[in-house]
Chains A and B, each alone.
Chain A
Amino acid sequence: MPGPMCSRELGDDWVDPGTLALTRHRPPVPHGINSCEDNPRAPLTQQILLSPVFRESVQVTDNMAAPMAWDSYWRMAYDRADKVLQAQANELLKRGNITKLEFDNLVKARNTLVEEFRKPLSPFGKQYSEILKPASKLPQPGGLLTKKGSIEAVLESVGKSRAAVNRLSMVFRVAGPGLLVLDITITTVVVMKAPPEQRGRVAAREYTGLGAGVAGGVGGAWAGCVALAALGSPTLLLPVVGEVTEGTLCAVGGILGGIGVGWVGREAGKATGEAVYDFVTTFRWE
């Protein structure tokens, strides 16, 4: 369907060559946009139709995924560094004759590696690490170890835990950066689509919302992790859903908390950004 025929553009130039009556039309544009304006909006933002549902979905998930992706990349970096240590240990084992200094240095390097790589983690990452550590266990009546009754069960659970954490980490490593880029792109489109006189205000609202949303996601992931992991005691959860480990509950709580508090943070950030913009632009020294 052709676009509008703008009355002020009728004339010799707008009659198709070789015809008597045909007139040229502007290209089609989305409903509600007047393409006959002297200064039409930028073509890129005019042509982008942004579904509010899609926008909200991306923003809500990015609030939670961005901080978790950060931790996942640190996990990957640790694994790479650990491979170097593994290779060194293998070399020493092959060589067979190990000095005390070599052994002590390797152990020290390994301990430093673990310590240093945990420093930059988000609060959720640190808490999750702490929860995955078992408190030293004694066999107690009704305790998990006594029920399992064998070392094989313990070793098997260690392997399963590793596989589960690997999957979780992989998901966030792939989804996190993609969602962040999409979120920034969508936020920029929203700002560019705003009328020129409103653009500054919309930019303040949207970009502050993005920052506050991610910050909310960081805090919410930690809060959700501890809130749910505290239910992990068999005495608290067994009657309802059976045996669930603290680590699983922490991960699920982290995702839910990151989404929930992240959303609240984004909305609060939007309101704050707008209020600050209004204050700054209307403030006058008396």
Chain B
Amino acid sequence: MGVISRYFERLAAMVRPRRAAALPVSADAEGLRIGGVPVAWSDMRRLDVYKRDIYVGDLLCLAILAAEDRVFEINEESPGWKEAGDAIERFLPGSLPRVEWALRLIAANPGDSVAIYPVSKTGSVGQSL
């Protein structure tokens, strides 16, 4: 019965207009807080952004590899997505500026990824923001 009731719960969740609200992400000087789980800036090992193919359209996503091989994934539908991007640029020295990685990501093909931290500096885009 457990499996059947879980199946119907999942079915009901899928039929709802929006199946799952994206986890909120917030940022401060200490680090990111993803769905209530804190990830300190000093724990961040690697950050990549990529486009997920969603059949018609694409979804911008960010994968974070943190200490102890923890991997987090947030996407542009996560509340606080833009603020998190700004905070990464501000608090994570050596990362690509948000405008640059966002542009590179828009320019990329769906399925491709852009490394935003750490990056080997080969010259970045100047901004007049």
* Known contacts A129-B56, A161-B52, A165-B55; is-contact A136 B34 (Cβ 8 Å): yes
- Tell whether, in the assembled complex, residue A136 and residue B23 are in contact, meaning their CB atoms are under 8 Å apart: yes
- CA separation between A131 and B125, bound complex, in Å? 35
> Given contacts A82-B58, A165-B53, is CB(A151)–CB(B46) below 8 Å?
yes
Q: Which of B7, B10, B11, B113 contacts A158 (CB 8 A)?
A: B113
Q: Answer yes or no: B37 CB below 8 A from chain A CBs.
A: yes
Known contacts A114-B58, A150-B71; A98/B106 CB under 8 A: no
Whether the Cβ atoms of A151 and B11 lie closer than 8 Å is no
Q: 4 nearest interchain CB pairs?
A: A162-B111, A136-B23, A89-B107, A135-B20
Q: Decide: A130 and B19 in contact? CB cutoff 8 A.
A: yes
A interface residues, tally (CB under 8 Å): 63
Known contacts being A158-B113, A227-B11, is A134 close to B65, with CB within 8 Å? no
A117 and B113: CB pair below 8 A? no
Q: Is the CB of A117 within 8 A of B22?
A: no
A138 at interface by CB-CB < 8 Å:
yes
| Contact status B59-A133, CB under 8 Å | yes
Q: How far is the CA of A123 from the CA of B74 in the complex (A)?
A: 26
Residue B95, interface by CB 8 Å: no
Chain A interface SS verdict (over half): helix
Q: A191 CB to closest chain B CB, in angstroms?
A: 36
- Tell yes or no: A6 within 8 A of B by CB: no
With known contacts A103-B99, A154-B73, A158-B50, A236–B55 Cβ distance under 8 A: no
**B residues at A contact (CB < 8 Å):** 3, 6-7, 10-11, 14-15, 18-23, 25, 34-35, 37, 46, 48, 50-59, 61, 63, 65, 69-75, 77-78, 99-100, 102-104, 106-113, 125-129
Of residues A99, A100, A134, A235, which shows the largest number of chain B Cβ atoms within 10 Å of its Cβ? Answer: A134
If A145-B71, A230-B7 touch, does A103 touch B56 (CB 8 Å cutoff)?
no
Cβ contacts A to B, 28 pairs, < 8 Å: A75-B56, A78-B56, A85-B106, A86-B108, A89-B104, A90-B107, A93-B104, A98-B103, A98-B128, A99-B129, A118-B57, A128-B55, A129-B54, A129-B57, A134-B61, A134-B73, A136-B34, A136-B35, A136-B73, A137-B72, A139-B71, A154-B73, A155-B48, A155-B50, A158-B51, A162-B110, A227-B11, A230-B7
